[in-house]
Amino acid sequence: MRHFRFGQIGAKPEALPDFRFIAHFPQPAVVIDEAGAIVHHNSAFAQHLRAEDGQLRGRRLAEALAQAGLPALEGSGAEVLRPFSPASRLRLVCFPAEKSDHLEATLEQAIDAVVSIDPQNNVTFFNAAAEALWGYPRDEVLGRNVSKLVPAFMRGDHDAMVNRNRTTGQNRIVGTMREVDIERRDGSTVKVGLTLSKIATATGICYTAFLKDISAVKAAETRLRQTLEQALDAVVEIDANNCVIFYNPAAERLWGYTADEVLGRNVDMLVPPQHARNHDELVNRNRRTGVNKIVGTSREVELIRKDGTRRWVSLSLSKVPRADGSITYTAFLRDVTAEVDRRERIRLLSLVADETDNSVLITDANRRLVYVNSGFTRLTGYTAKEAIGRKPGELLQGPGTDRATAKRIRESLDSGAPVYEEILNYDRHGRPYWISLTINPIFGEGGKIEKYISIQANIDTVKLSSLEYTRQFDAISKSAAIAEWDHLGQPLKMNTYLANTLAGGRLPVLSACLTAEKLEQLVQQGECRHHVELPPVEGTVPVLDGYFSVMTDLAGKVQKFLMYGPDVTMRARAISDTDEAVRDVTQSSEQTALVVETIDTIARQTSLLSLNASIEAARAGEAGKGFTVVAAEIRMLAEKSREAADQINAKLTETRDRVTRLAESIKMLVS
């Protein structure tokens, strides 16, 4: 298969050999350690000591023999062999069978194939199961070199390999069980489990092989592997050295690594960095101690993909003891990131619902409460126990609740539409309070409503302020003009006061109400003030003292232009009349000043004539003496006339200044 590497699973150095081969021995056989303690034995040994299987392991062999009344090891005729690797320091003790023909009869009837060879590697025993396995009759095998039974590619070197074991004592196969392919007589191949024993005899070292047809098991394993290949969940298997030996396509999708990048490498490459350093030790500790903290359980863990992104997975870990004594592990992982995110959202939503001051209600399809939060209890005074099962309207609405609003809510819910309303409710003590509520229907399969969720905020303070503002606005609207224009300056609406002022006329466009300079100020600064002259009504031009402002959205874009303006028509008329009176007074003063100036001119000329007359009288002597007196009087009258003209002129100037200041004061008072 594409994602599975076949072959023997490498055992850890400290793993015990596979002892199952001694189960085939007809004679009593036992494995002991360097201290003489029993490690493993076959059923014939238990029968030899007349003991139960579970009673012997861990006991010293010498004590067990003595307790059974049997001779000591040295006098029992038993053979002490070392078929295992030297590092294990284990010995195989084979006690003599009662009759050799009994041994052969037992092996002949064994369901597994049994083949024995002599020191020359010739076959000396080939039972009926071996005949069935290879397809050779025993007459064609007995006395022949065992290489006849070995796959063709190994036949040339097989004798050398067997003899090497005899001379060096290095047991690579002896004492273990491994899977091998054999070639049958008809050329087909069969997968078998091979267990090889080594026995030293008087004539030399002989070998006996026990072979079990595992082709059906391997076929089942192949089917399992194919199933795991197609599994939707990621499957990862590691060998005794913690290297990945199976990695299915779902695992490729989960981690983002291809099988070629992972197979054969240590599994810690798939483990988050904070755990990778100690991962081998954690796995090996489980092998040594057998204490399962994760094995056999399911837990959610976080993994890091090849691209650095994180995923949550549900991890199930299986521990698999192998026939060769090694232990492998298989992990099944399912991506639960979406589920973890959903749970986290639910946790956060629950946190919000539990901690918010707002009231949160959930009802069933019949609009009966199934959940209320603590905010509901704080707002209404009703506990969850008192509220569950009741309808919110029946529980909270009272005499001041607007029936039209309640009806709109019911009609929206009946149509499956969300609700956004403000309504007056009552707490359990009968105290009214305003709420802003949102109700959303929750639809299930087939579009049918399953639940309603409502969030309600106490807006008592805001609502009362709004009502107060509304009353104030209504009061203002009765005594002043209010108008709105769109962002282009086109009229939108006006209040009744302004409509009455216009006597049914239309509201002018904004540009007709403001000068270009004032309109630019309004746009740039957001506000301005200007006296607005409206179209004449019955010969009178209505005048408003307009206060203009701009309404914008959050982005600062103009949405509307607003105007508030009291009617200052009478005030404007008073100012106009005052200006006209001032102009008249000023004009009259100016005309009087001209008269005074003429008098002053005449007085100056009279004075000059009087001076000339005095000169001429002096020249005439006594004859002009009387005329001199007259000239002097005339000069005195001229001087007094000029002084009177100056005083009149000063008074006129003072009067004009006072009238001007009076007009300005009247304007300021009126405005």
Number of domain units in the chain = 6
> What does each C-alpha distance from 400 to 53, 422, 435, 597, 639 come to in angstroms?
89, 13, 13, 83, 93
Element (H, E) at 522: helix 516-525
Boundary-marking domain end, from 44, 59, 94: 94
Q: Is there a single domain that holds both residue 287 and residue 258?
A: yes
Sequential DSSP letters for 551-592: EE-TT--EEEEEEEEEB-HHHHHHHHHHHHHHHHHHHHHHHH
* Closest by Cα among 246, 221, 241 to 326: 241
What was the pLDDT predicted at 176? 75
Indicate if the pLDDT at residue 638 is higher than 90. no
pLDDT tens across 300-326, in order? 999 999 999 999 999 999 888 876 678
Indicate if the pLDDT at residue 1 is higher than 50. no
Give the C-alpha separation, 35 to 91, whole Å.
10
Q: Is there a single domain that holds both residue 142 and residue 66?
A: no
Q: Is residue 523 part of a domain?
A: yes
What was the pLDDT predicted at 579? 67
Q: How many CB atoms lie within 10 A of CB 289?
A: 8
Q: What percent of the chain has pLDDT over 70?
A: 86
Give the C-alpha separation, 131 to 184, whole Å.
10
pLDDT tens across 57-108, in order? 888 999 888 888 888 888 777 888 777 777 778 888 888 765 555 667 778 8
Give the C-alpha separation, 598 to 642, whole Å.
10
C-beta separation of 177 from 163 below 8 A: no
Q: For the chain, state the CA radius of gyration.
A: 60
* Closest by Cα among 158, 240, 243 to 196: 158
Q: Is there a single domain that holds both residue 581 and residue 639?
A: yes
pLDDT tens across 169-187, in order? 777 778 777 888 999 999 9
Q: Is there a single domain that holds both residue 180 and residue 269?
A: no
Specify burial of residue 423 (Cβ count, 10 A radius: 0-12, 13-18, 19+). buried
What was the pLDDT predicted at 16? 65
pLDDT tens across 326-381, in order? 889 999 999 999 999 998 888 887 777 777 889 999 999 999 999 999 999 999 99
Computed over every residue of the chain, the mean pLDDT equals 84
Q: Is there a single domain that holds both residue 243 and residue 335?
A: yes
The conformation of residue 526, written as its DSSP 8-state character, comes to S
- What average pLDDT does this structure show over 563-586? 74
What was the pLDDT predicted at 668? 62
Residue type, 110: A
SS (H, E, C) 59-85: CEHHHHHHHCCCCCHHHCCCEEECCCC
Secondary structure class of 442 (helix, strand, coil): strand
Please give the residue range of the domain that contains residue 436: 356-463
Tokens, residue 400: 């001041």
Helices (H) and strands (E) in the chain, counts: 20, 24
Q: Is residue 448 part of a domain?
A: yes
- What average pLDDT does this structure show over 511-532? 92
Give the C-alpha separation, 324 to 566, whole Å.
104
What was the pLDDT predicted at 324? 66
Element (H, E) at 48: helix 43-48
Secondary structure class of 191 (helix, strand, coil): strand
What CATH number is attached to the domain comprising 606?
Answer: 1.10.287.950
Q: Is residue 519 part of a domain?
A: yes
What was the pLDDT predicted at 636? 75
Q: Is there a single domain that holds both residue 77 and residue 132?
A: no
What was the pLDDT predicted at 492? 93
The conformation of residue 540, written as its DSSP 8-state character, comes to B
Q: Is there a single domain that holds both residue 162 and residue 67?
A: no
pLDDT tens across 238-262, in order? 999 999 999 999 999 999 999 999 9
Q: Is there a single domain that holds both residue 360 and residue 412?
A: yes
Q: Is there a single domain that holds both residue 123 and residue 206?
A: yes
Q: What percent of the chain has pLDDT over 90?
A: 39
- What average pLDDT does this structure show over 570-587? 68
What CATH number is attached to the domain comprising 406?
Answer: 3.30.450.20
Q: Is there a single domain that holds both residue 145 and residue 87?
A: no
Question: Which strands form 527-533's sheet, in the order they lie side by side?
Answer: 491-494, 480-486, 558-566, 543-552, 527-533
Residues 6+ apart with CB under 8 A from 340: 300, 312
Q: Is residue 577 part of a domain?
A: yes
Q: How many CB atoms lie within 10 A of CB 526?
A: 14
Q: How many CB atoms lie within 10 A of CB 644?
A: 14
What was the pLDDT predicted at 365? 93
Indicate if the pLDDT at residue 114 is higher than 90. yes
Boundary-marking domain end, from 190, 217, 244: 217
Q: The pTM is what?
A: 0.44
Strands 204-213 and 29-32: unpaired
Q: Is residue 392 part of a domain?
A: yes
More confident residue, 174 or 196: 196
Q: Is there a single domain that holds both residue 248 and residue 334?
A: yes
Which parts of 553-653 are beta strand (E)?
558-566
- What average pLDDT does this structure show over 630-659? 72
Residue type, 646: D
Boundary-marking domain end, from 161, 195, 217: 217
Q: Which residues pair with 599 in a beta bridge?
A: none
Q: Is residue 4 part of a domain?
A: no
Tokens, residue 387: 């509220």
pLDDT tens across 376-406, in order? 999 999 999 999 999 999 999 999 999 999 9
- Label residue 659 by pLDDT band (50, 70, 90): low
Q: Is residue 8 part of a domain?
A: no
The conformation of residue 490, written as its DSSP 8-state character, comes to -
- Label residue 295 by pLDDT band (50, 70, 90): confident
Q: Is residue 556 part of a domain?
A: yes
What was the pLDDT predicted at 10? 40
Q: Is there a single domain that holds both residue 590 and residue 666?
A: yes
What was the pLDDT predicted at 110? 85
